[in-house]
Amino acid sequence: MNRSSDKEISVVIPIFNEQECLTRLHQEIVDAVAHRYAYEIIYVDDGSSDDSFSILSTLHAEDPNVRVVRFRKNFGQTAALAAGFRLARGRVIVPLDADLQNDPADIPMLVEKLTEGYDIVSGWRKNRQDTFLTRTLPSRLGNWLIGRITGVRLHDYGCTLKAYQADSLKQIRLYGEMHRFIPALASWGGEKVAEMPVHHRPRTTGKTKYGLNRTFKVILDLITIKFLASFSTKPIYVFGGLGGLCFLGSLISGLLVLYYRYMATPFLSMNRNPLLVLSMMLMTTAIQFVMMGLLAEIMVRTYHESQDRPIYVIETILESNPEAEPSPGREGEPKGTE
């Protein structure tokens, strides 16, 4: 999507049942950026069931810099951010949470850091105002694990408040809950990443949408990220390597079967040796792994040549002076603009 050059920054906020926060949040964002930048604020209503969309519609009517995207149902934070990134027109994109724990007053500081030659500046909730056992401790362990596996060491991958050069997001496609891995994905592509402490405020309204169950999802996404980083264009190396290990195990088991049959005392009949069954099973598994690798190679080539399909479906977009009418009939694109 082409972005208009008249916008310096785009502030992207995913919304899910945050009606108590929206009016105050909007005013804080305007106070932080209005006198410094040409800006737009993109609110993405991720299928809220409260009055969030009604409040956002009012904000849009009162402020021409506000754009509102409404999903048909709840697709998750990653999809909401992906939609906001795709629609953003600013040269710098700044996402933040809607629960008022991120401080919009930190936005100019992050944007200014970009001018030092960085492509991404990630917020670090150094003094985090969350429950230690259920939020802070799992987050610290997760950040350590992510840093070790990805090789991109940040204190706080989970902080939504970041500043991105818009170009750094062009080649990144988000799935699952992978928005927190954007710095690592971008860094692997040669982007420069910095980190700065930001304010983190206690939550005063609503309730958190995340629990300990998110930790398991993060681990699964981390495995996916590592696979994509190392083997997304050569999956045969993974499956072929596993097949090679199985073949080696099969070979060793087979040699032991022959040893016990012809050299050990007393001799052990082959059909009574469980190692023979193990050898056959490992050989079969080795063949299956190699075949899976070949199929994965075909799928990878199909994937890289397939058309771009978004992971969300937009119901409505509210914006002033849209750049162009959406193309009808494309999955994931809005059916209409108000």
Instruction: Please indicate whether residue 150 or residue 277 has the higher confidence score (pLDDT).
Output: 277
* Core vs surface per residue 106-126: b (16+ CB within 10 A) or e: bbbbbbebbeeebbbbbbbbe
**Long-range pairs, 218-224, Cβ under 8 A, ≥24:** 218/142, 218/146, 218/177, 218/180, 219/145, 220/176, 221/176, 221/177, 221/178, 221/181, 222/145, 222/146, 222/149, 222/150, 222/181, 224/176, 224/178
Q: Mean of the pLDDT values across residues 196-214?
A: 74
Q: Roughly how many angstroms between the first and final C-alpha of the chain, as a whole number? A: 19
Q: Mean of the pLDDT values across residues 23-35?
A: 95
Strands 66-71 and 162-165, sheet pairing? unpaired
Instruction: Please indicate whether residue 232 or residue 159 has the higher confidence score (pLDDT).
Output: 159
Strands 39-45 and 9-15, sheet pairing? parallel
Best mean pLDDT range from 81-85, 237-241, 258-262 = 81-85
Given a cut of 90, whether residue 306 has pLDDT beyond it is: no
Model pLDDT, residue 43:
97
What value does the mean pLDDT of the chain take?
83
Given a cut of 50, whether residue 66 has pLDDT beyond it is: yes
pLDDT band at 81 (very low <50, low <70, confident <90, very high): very high
Q: Mean of the pLDDT values across residues 15-43?
A: 94
Best mean pLDDT range from 183-192, 200-209, 295-304 = 183-192
Model pLDDT, residue 89:
93
Each residue of 45-65: pLDDT tens digit? 999 999 999 999 999 999 999
Q: Mean of the pLDDT values across residues 193-211?
A: 79
Q: Provide the percentage of residues in the chain whose pLDDT is more than 70.
A: 83
Model pLDDT, residue 294:
87
Q: Mean of the pLDDT values across residues 14-36?
A: 94
Given a cut of 80, whether residue 271 has pLDDT beyond it is: no
Given a cut of 60, whether residue 200 has pLDDT beyond it is: yes
Given a cut of 60, whether residue 331 has pLDDT beyond it is: no
Q: Mean of the pLDDT values across residues 64-83?
A: 93
Domain locations along the chain: 9-232+308-318, 236-305
Model pLDDT, residue 44:
96
Tokens for 230, please give them. Answer: 């190392």
pLDDT band at 330 (very low <50, low <70, confident <90, very high): very low
Q: What is the pTM of this model?
A: 0.72
Each residue of 119-134: pLDDT tens digit? 999 999 988 877 777 6
Q: Which CATH number does the domain 9-232+308-318 belong to among 3.90.550.10, 2.170.190.11, 3.30.365.10, 3.90.870.30?
A: 3.90.550.10
- Cα–Cα distance measured from residue 158 to residue 164, given in angstroms and rounded to the nearest whole number: 15
